[in-house]
Structure 1
Amino acid sequence: MSFSSKSDSEARPLLDDRRSSYGSADSEETTSPETPLNKVSRSDLIWILAGLWSAVFLGALDGTIVATLLTPIGSDFNKANQASYIGTAYLLSVCCFTPLYGRLSDILGRRGAMLLGLFFFGSTGTLLCGLANSMEMLIAARAIAGMGGGGVMTVSSVAVTDLIPLKQRGLYQGMCNILFGLGAGLGGPLGGYLNDAFGWRSAFLLQMPILVFSVLLVTLKVKIKLPFDVQNQSTSAKLKRIDFCGSFTLVGTVGCLLLGFSLKSTEELPWSDPLIWGLFVVSAVFCVSFVLVEHYWSQYPIMPLRLITQRTPLAVSLSNFFGSVGAFSMVQSSPRKSCIYRLTLSYFSAVRLNSSTEAGLHLLPHSVALSTGSVFAGWIMRKTGKLYYLTLASAGSAILASALVCLWNDQSSEFHLWLDIVPQGFGMASLITSTLIAMIAGVVKEDMAVATGITYLFRTTGQVIGVSCSGAILQAVLVAKLRMRIHGPNALEVCINIIEDIRHSVNIIPSLPDDLRTAAISSYRDALEVVFLCQLAMNILTFICCLPIQENPLPCVAF
């Protein structure tokens, strides 16, 4: 029996459940699954999307702006060695707090949760970044901004799902992803210009007008109805629904795990270092505590265990995790740069000895594919109402790209170097869109917001682990190969110096003597091949995890 086939009897309870508690029992509008609870005019929808998506655009813009500013910020505070923690603090905070906003949006409302995210991201975090008088204050401010950054993405996705029919939801997600990509693309050059013209602080402070615009529109236009029993509760009663113990243990689990991987990569500590394995042990303790709290203690769990053990939610979560490990990475604090993007850039620079401009141009088709893949997936789901085979095809595209990249060698034609990574960007953009819709369609409406938060949690966690592990593998293989290839008088001392120079910058390779340059290029090629093979394995696991996803009906009305 095909994983995608579902009998009518299997589909019927899903539709019946969706109408169960998201509206007053006395309301005639909510007695039919074909009538949306939150119906808005086209003009109001445009304003709502403008408010929500302007925050998403700003989050993407902020990420690449900060990546551009790391060097001048480090120089200004005379602490360049700590500059990487600006991005690390933001990313860890995003990963830890993203899943909390799913439940908060059910308790505080979509508007309340979105305003909370905007408060942490902008009014507190970004503003404090612009006013920071020390590196430590700036790192703390970025952590505060991360507490809201992940919430902005999650709540905006939940709110759009409330307003847009699920059959069309993927198309809107694709448009949002294009806007996100536009923000990420503009952030780098804009950050450089603002730093040169007005100083790095202006890059943070000039974001405030967009934040004010988003806050005003969200306050005035986002009026999405909650379940009747929640909407009429007092503030104190709503606060009692917040799972504080579950939130604390979840933050501890994710935070310690990702901090361990991040320190391993950024500080180049060995796996045997007490700090690294100590963080992993603490994470495991928090994880056990989280499971016990959610199962025995929490009345309104932040991540219901019954949800994560269901077939489709579990398959979607794992596919997003492995897909992100294999294909996504962080370039400082930008969460949408693909790992294959970063590593192929290293391939063109270190192995092919292309200039930065030439290397960047080779990746232009991949960037275009990232922008169009999500819209394509949304269009297919809108036309067909199906997502199962689209999901498998998307995961298969990533496997194809990884396999083609693994075959690169000195004889590879320019055609392959330009186009082999295109299926990676197109497939992964399509995959994250179709699996998000599969998650939403696979749960009852009461769990929709929490399920969306879970999807983003697994996705962002995979991104951090992916870049940390790929970096660790690359550096380990590179060191081993360089030590194997460098010989001669004072070989050990020369080897140590060359290794440190090459590990931190590939720009030194063309200026090396012939024998050392040959050793460096060959070693980098070998190291990248190992990483590409690991990515291929992760993409195969992603495909396997997509197989159990069920083909649930996509309603033609909003939730």
Structure 2
Amino acid sequence: MSGEGATEDTNQTRFPHLAPNIIHDPSAETSGLIAGELAAEDGSMISRDNLISHTYGSVSHGELPKNYAIDDPHGGYALPKAQLYTVVSSLFMASYLAALDATVVTTLLSFIASELHAVQNISWIATAYLLSSAAFQPIFGKISDIFGRKLLLIGCCFLFGLGCLICVTDSLVWLVIGRFVTGIGGSGLTSIGTMAMSDLIPLRDRGLYQGLANIFFGLGSASGGIIGGIIADTLGWKYVFALQVPLAVIVGVAIQFNLNLPQGSPGLGAHGQDIWQKLKRVDFLGSIFLISSLMMFLTAASLGGKEISYTSNSFLLMTGGSGLFFAAFVFTEIYISEEPIIPIELLGNRTVLASSLTNWFYTMGVFTTLFYVPVFYTSVKNLTASQNGWRLVPNFLGVSFGSVGAGYYMKKTGRYYKLAIGAGILSVAGVFKITLLNTSTPTWQQYLLLIPSGLGYSCMLTVTLLALIAATPKKFQACTTSIQYTFRSTGSTLGVSIASAIFMNVLSQQLTKNVSAIISDPKLAKRVISRALDSTSYVNEAPKYVRGAIRDSYEAGCKGTFYFALLTIFLGFVSSLFMREHRLHTSINRD
């Protein structure tokens, strides 16, 4: 860091009329960047490394005014209020639908699989949506920069609705295909919707709207299982998918008639080019390599240790193939592609890299606790599904407050760094408290247990998104949004997969140790261990003299995942320390 600072001081001394915040301010984009690029052409002036340095555009304490006034004609926004609220409401609905469809089948899996005679392949009904959703998110940023946000959003509404229609079938194959297509549309609705809001709303106010969007996404995730169960019980499971089609159409129509961005907006896409010229600009090779890498990686992470063994040829082939495709992607983006789908050089920006890693590690940790705290309640505390569910409700309230509160704080202060530090401390303390969970934990603490980490995580999601966008030129805001969603989706999958491996490994070891100490008959002990590994409910069916040993084993397995979550949250907190404070502008033009 001292070396970078020395370089900047030298440039300032030699060229005092070219201040770093003018040449390198990523929010200025126009004259500032052009001046920087011209200077970079002369090696004696400013190097390309300095052009992407993390220090550009950062602000120091006291630089921001206490109050601010936004510009005309629409109060700093890109659209009149009526159109703005219609578009934003539609994007909130799109976010809700995408999240709902990811969880809507959770209560229906066994029912659908039984009706289609496909119990052995039950996991693919849920996995197909999650895989396509995560794998295609990274490419939407650059593609929407070329073709425009409106066209891509309408296309994703079409894919989402089409996928839901395909799911109205009696064939497992077509159901999985439908879920895959729906996942592509759903991922675009969330990621491009976030990009579109950045086209519409000044950065100073952007966090508040993102907080509201996070609430709708959370509502969709939380209500998916409930809504799916109610509709399936009253109308049949096929209507769970069919009823989403008209909602997708409504969102698409609202966007078509109201998302009319002003001239010069990056959300309009490329100007003065026909469809073939635009297609030539798409980095198809890089996209294929990236999607292939993510598909293999996420499939291996999702199925490893469950449907396929970690030592199997299938797992090794998928992980090895994922690494090769990712290496090919990086090579393509650096040396071949003229317009990379994700500019690798963006990760040379300190704030972009730190924000991405923060998002990645936090998502790993929080999703691990969301999965395994309920497992603890069920297997160790012997709680019912409804009792388990009620203990998760306060967490949603905390997440909602954190999302909106973070946005309101940034709107009022124009800052986010101190908020990130505070949210990080809260998250680390919250997960540490989770590691102390035991059978004697009071009931009232069980209800409040997930609030600190959930609140801190929701703050961090909003902060990292704003930090990424503010740290880069306006023309890269869609690509940085794609980076945010890529790190989040891979973080959740990888975190839960690693936690699952830890859980099963510790559980197996503890069951072998504890059960074998009680049951002297090796065959009987092996049968008890096998059944305990297969189902958490077996603890209530096992012989009474061995139930305590099984519960202790499950507690040890859950504790292993909690310690893993604490480690990843701490790494996320450390990563957040390397972010820089950048200016949150009060108008779309970043004036």
Normalised TM-score (structure 2): 0.86
Q: How many Å apart are 1:221 and its aligned residue?
A: 1.0
Map 1:34-45 onto structure 2 (within 5 A): 39-45=78-84
- 8 Å CA contact 2:519–2:525 kept in 1: the answer is no
Asked whether 1:463 is paired with 2:505, we answer: no
Asked whether 1:87 is paired with 2:126, we answer: yes
Partners of 1:202 and 1:265 in 2: CA distance = 34
Partner of 1:352: helix, strand, or coil? coil
Asked whether 1:219 is paired with 2:256, we answer: yes
Q: Which amino acid aligns with 2:129?
A: Y
Deviations 1:220-254 (A, max 9, x none): 11122545992221111111111000000101111
Label 1:411 to 1:196 Cα distance change in 2 as closer, same or farther (>3 A).
closer
Map 1:77-476 onto structure 2 (within 5 A): 77-122=116-161, 124-130=162-168, 132-224=169-261, 225=263, 226=265, 230-267=270-307, 269-328=308-367, 339-476=368-505
Partner of 1:470: helix, strand, or coil? helix
Partners of 1:421 and 1:51 in 2: CA distance = 30
Comparing 208-217 with 220-229, greater Cα deviation is found at 220-229
Comparing 223-232 with 356-365, greater Cα deviation is found at 223-232
Asked whether 1:513 is paired with 2:524, we answer: no
Label 1:326 to 1:521 Cα distance change in 2 as closer, same or farther (>3 A).
same
Partner of 1:386: helix, strand, or coil? coil
Q: How many Å apart are 1:445 and its aligned residue?
A: 0.6
Partner of 1:98: helix, strand, or coil? helix
- 8 Å CA contact 1:509–1:517 kept in 2: the answer is yes
Label 1:302 to 1:497 Cα distance change in 2 as closer, same or farther (>3 A).
same
Partner of 2:585: helix, strand, or coil? coil
Comparing 442-451 with 468-477, greater Cα deviation is found at 468-477
Partners of 1:324 and 1:377 in 2: CA distance = 17
Between structure 1 and structure 2, the one with the greater Rg is 2
Label 1:548 to 1:34 Cα distance change in 2 as closer, same or farther (>3 A).
farther
- 8 Å CA contact 2:204–2:414 kept in 1: the answer is yes
Partners of 1:21 and 1:149 in 2: CA distance = 37
Q: How many Å apart are 1:21 and its aligned residue?
A: 11
Partner of 1:266: helix, strand, or coil? coil
Partners of 1:21 and 1:39 in 2: CA distance = 22
Show the counterpart of 2:93: 54
Q: How many Å apart are 1:453 and its aligned residue?
A: 0.5
Partners of 1:387 and 1:260 in 2: CA distance = 36
Note the aligned Cα RMSD (angstroms).
2.4
Partner of 2:25: helix, strand, or coil? helix
- 8 Å CA contact 1:326–1:534 kept in 2: the answer is yes
Partner of 2:310: helix, strand, or coil? coil
Q: How many Å apart are 1:203 and its aligned residue?
A: 0.5
Q: Which amino acid aligns with 1:506?
A: T
Partners of 1:174 and 1:400 in 2: CA distance = 23
Gaps of 5+ in 2: 10-17, 34-69
Label 1:514 to 1:489 Cα distance change in 2 as closer, same or farther (>3 A).
closer
- 8 Å CA contact 2:149–2:269 kept in 1: the answer is no
Partners of 2:270 and 2:473 in 1: CA distance = 17
Identity %: 32
Partners of 1:429 and 1:489 in 2: CA distance = 47
Normalised TM-score (structure 1): 0.91
- 8 Å CA contact 1:21–1:446 kept in 2: the answer is no
Partners of 2:244 and 2:343 in 1: CA distance = 36
The number of residue pairs the alignment matches comes to 534
Partners of 2:80 and 2:88 in 1: CA distance = 12
- 8 Å CA contact 2:286–2:329 kept in 1: the answer is yes
Q: How many Å apart are 1:16 and its aligned residue?
A: 5.7
- 8 Å CA contact 2:334–2:344 kept in 1: the answer is yes
Comparing 415-424 with 302-311, greater Cα deviation is found at 415-424
Gaps of 5+ in 1: 23-32, 329-338
Label 1:524 to 1:553 Cα distance change in 2 as closer, same or farther (>3 A).
same
- 8 Å CA contact 1:19–1:445 kept in 2: the answer is no
Partners of 2:542 and 2:143 in 1: CA distance = 56
Show the counterpart of 1:334: none
Show the counterpart of 1:26: none
Show the counterpart of 1:68: 107
470, 478, 484: which one pairs with 2:513?
A: 484
Partners of 1:489 and 1:377 in 2: CA distance = 54
Partner of 1:14: helix, strand, or coil? coil
Deviations 1:493-530 (A, max 9, x none): 33443334333432231232222211110000111111
- 8 Å CA contact 2:515–2:529 kept in 1: the answer is no
Show the counterpart of 2:42: none
Comparing 403-412 with 521-530, greater Cα deviation is found at 403-412
Label 1:292 to 1:76 Cα distance change in 2 as closer, same or farther (>3 A).
same
- 8 Å CA contact 1:50–1:217 kept in 2: the answer is no
Q: How many Å apart are 1:350 and its aligned residue?
A: 1.1
Label 1:466 to 1:477 Cα distance change in 2 as closer, same or farther (>3 A).
same
Partner of 1:17: helix, strand, or coil? coil
Partner of 2:105: helix, strand, or coil? helix
Q: Which amino acid aligns with 2:574?
A: I
- 8 Å CA contact 1:315–1:545 kept in 2: the answer is yes
574, 577, 584: which one pairs with 1:547?
A: 577
Show the counterpart of 1:335: none
